[in-house]
Amino acid sequence: MASCPFSVGDIVRFSPSGKTRNHYQDSAGFGVETGQELAIRSIKDGMYLYFDKDAGGWPWNEFTLVHQAVK
């Protein structure tokens, strides 16, 4: 997998693949709902995105950029 193109502070939308949606039918139980827009609070191992209240742990490729943080 390519490296994460996002940065801390970016706003992303959770847009999981069909495979992910089938595997985790209740993603809300992991703190993120399909279509939800969230601000990235941390990126671990250059791949996993985390949000408020330590929700996350999803790989970056399950998200699309909504708004890039001012750098």
pLDDT digits (tens, 9 = 90+) for 24-63: 766 776 788 889 999 999 999 999 999 998 888 899 999 9
Does position 16 have pLDDT exceeding 70, yes or no? yes
The candidate with the shortest Cα–Cα distance to 71, out of 12, 10, 23, 24, is: 10
- Could you tell me if 12 and 59 are in contact, meaning their C-beta atoms sit under 8 angstroms apart? no
pTM beyond 0.75? yes
- Could you tell me if 40 and 51 are in contact, meaning their C-beta atoms sit under 8 angstroms apart? yes
Domain ranges in the chain are: 11-67
pLDDT at 43 (0 to 100) = 96
pLDDT at 24 (0 to 100) = 72
For residues 29 and 11, the model is more confident at: 11
C-alpha–C-alpha distance, residues 5 and 24, integer Å: 24
Does position 22 have pLDDT exceeding 80, yes or no? no
